[in-house]
Amino acid sequence: MRIITITCPECGTVVAANELESKRVMKCPGLDCEHVLRFDALDADAREHFLANRERYRL
């Protein structure tokens, strides 16, 4: 299993791919940050790996 995350380019908050995948588009959870994060912003390899192994990433 790989740890797949995305970092907000505005504030540096790290968000897990499983959280982002469940919503596909979400406001950054960082304090006072209004940046919108998208699952599609993950690189193609990370998206493919996550989707192929989704059951391993459940909380």
Which of 21-25, 37-41, 43-47, 54-58 shows the lowest per-residue confidence on average (mean pLDDT)? 54-58
pTM of the model: 0.78
pLDDT computed for residue 59 by the predictor:
61
Rounded to whole angstroms, how far apart are CA atoms 46 and 52? 10
Q: In the structure encoding, which two tokens stand for residue 20, read together? A: 């982002």
Q: Are strands 5-7 and 36-38 parallel, antiparallel or unpaired?
A: unpaired
Q: Give 53's DSSP letter.
A: T
Cα distance between residue 36 and residue 33, in whole Å: 9
What pLDDT is stored for residue 27 in this prediction?
Answer: 95
Q: Which helix (H) or strand (E) holds 21?
A: helix 17-23
